[in-house]
Each structure stands twice: as C-alpha cells, then as structure tokens.
Amino acid sequence: MSKQTHTEPIDLEALQQRDKKAFAQLVNQNSNRIYRLALKMVGNEQDAEDVLQETFIKAYKSIEGFEGRSKISTWLYRIAVNESLMLLRKRKDGVTHIDAGIKQDNGDIIPRQIIDWCCLPEKELMSSEVRDHIRKAIQTLSDANRAAFLLRDVEGLSTREASQALNISESALKVRLMRSRMQLREELTAFFKGRMAEENV
C-alpha cells in the first residue's frame, strides 16, 4: 500500500495562521501523494504538475476552512480530485467515457474472461510493458470511478476516508470501487491472455 510517512504532526493552529514553516511541512509531507494521485487522474506529467500546484495554492488560501473533521491529507486529496476533475472537464472535447468492456446485469458486474494469469512470474507482471499498459487501462475508467479506485486501492485510504474525499456516501464509493476493480481486471486479463498466447506459439 502506498503510504507516506508522517514524521512530525503538523501544528494546525500555525497552519491556519499561514505560518510558512508549518505550510512547508504540509507540502513536504503530502506533495508526493498528491502528485501521484494527480498523475494517475489526469494521465500526463504536465497536467499533474498543474494540479499539484493548484492543490497547494488552494489549500493555502482556504486553510481556515479546514475544520479537522477528517485527516488533513484527506482534505488535500479532496482538493486535488476536484482540481483534476476540473482540468479533465476542460480538456474533454465532447468525448464521453463509456465503461466499455463491462457488462452489467441488474446492477451486477459479470466477468467476461476467466483466465488464470496469476501464475505468471512476478518479473513479468511488473515489466515496463505491463506498467505502461495498466496506466493506459486506468484512463479507460470514468473519471469518477478512477478517483474512487485511486484513493482506495492505490493511496490506501479507508472506505470512509475515500468517501469523505469524494463527498459521496460510503455505499456509492463501494459501487464505484467494485466497477473500477472489475473493469481493470478485465483489461489486465485481456492483456495477459494475449501475452500467454504469444508464449505458447
């Protein structure tokens, strides 16, 4: 699980008085995770950097609004998700995402491909080609589903924290998470099916 180390608790009072040192500490402890989320939300480094900078600029401007009901990192994730969604909305040119490759039956998600690729060697599962493919695959999720998956499964937030960051109910979060996981499983299964077929030629 991708977790950032908190070496020292941040003085919230100092932060709310816009103490530069306290804010530098906040940036220091959270910039890596915010960049990672932004990169995977928007899919390219330049836009991820814009989201990263905007997130901390907004955090600095609105720190009084942080009431401490969630972790400060959850609050930052929330700003970063909103910034990413705004950027994605601007970028979209009428193309809408459809959760292709997934069939739904009365709200259930039915797996289409049943192939056991877990037996592949770890080296192959984490090759640069696979990493390149999974980065493309995650972009096929709807923006809302991708945010849920990233917060819960990549950033390691609890269901409650992820639902707070997205401002949705825990049950809505779980639905988005399930759909994302199943869609990505289908994407990876199709990919590894091709790889296994090549090996057997």
Partner 1 sequence: MMHQHDTDCKMILNNLSAYIDGELDEDLCQKIETHLETCQNCRIVVDTLKKTIDIYQKDGEKTTLPPDVRTRLFACLALEDDASRDE
Q: Is 105 helix (H, G, I), strand (E, B) or coil?
A: strand
For residue 2 the two structure tokens come to 């991708």
12 binds partner 1 (CB under 8 A): no
In the bound state with partner 1, the residue whose beta carbon lies nearer, of 94 and 107, is 107
**Per-position x/- string for 49-88, each x denoting binding to partner 1 as judged by CB under 8 A, each - no binding:** x--xx--xx--x----------------------------
Instruction: Give the Cα separation of 113 and 187 in Å (integer).
Output: 10
In the bound state with partner 1, the residue whose beta carbon lies nearer, of 96 and 191, is 191
Q: Which of 186, 179, 189 is nearest to 149 (CA)?
A: 179
User: Is 85 within 8 Å of 143 (Cβ atoms)?
Assistant: yes
In the bound state with partner 1, the residue whose beta carbon lies nearer, of 88 and 175, is 175
First to last CA, the chain: 36
Q: Among 11, 23, 66, 196, which residue interacts with partner 1 (rule: CB under 8 A)?
A: 23
Residue 13, phi-psi category: left (phi > 0), alpha (psi -120 to 50), beta (remainder): alpha
177 binds partner 1 (CB under 8 A): yes
In one-letter notation, the amino acid at residue 44 is N
144 binds partner 1 (CB under 8 A): no
Instruction: Give the Cα separation of 83 and 81 in Å (integer).
Output: 5
Instruction: Give the Cα separation of 162 and 175 in Å (integer).
Output: 13
In the bound state with partner 1, the residue whose beta carbon lies nearer, of 71 and 181, is 181
121 binds partner 1 (CB under 8 A): no
Q: Which stretch binds partner 1 (CB under 8 A): 68-76, 80-88, 95-103, 185-193?
A: 185-193
DSSP 153: I
Instruction: Give the Cα separation of 143 and 104 in Å (integer).
Output: 19
174 binds partner 1 (CB under 8 A): yes
39 binds partner 1 (CB under 8 A): yes
| Count of residues engaged in binding partner 1, rule: CB under 8 A | 60
For residue 169 the two structure tokens come to 């109910």
Query: Which residues contact partner 1 by CB under 8 A?
Result: 1-2, 4-8, 20, 23-25, 27-33, 35-36, 39-40, 45, 49, 52-53, 56-57, 60, 108-111, 114-118, 125-126, 130-131, 134-135, 138, 149, 153-156, 159, 174, 177-178, 181-182, 184-185, 188-189
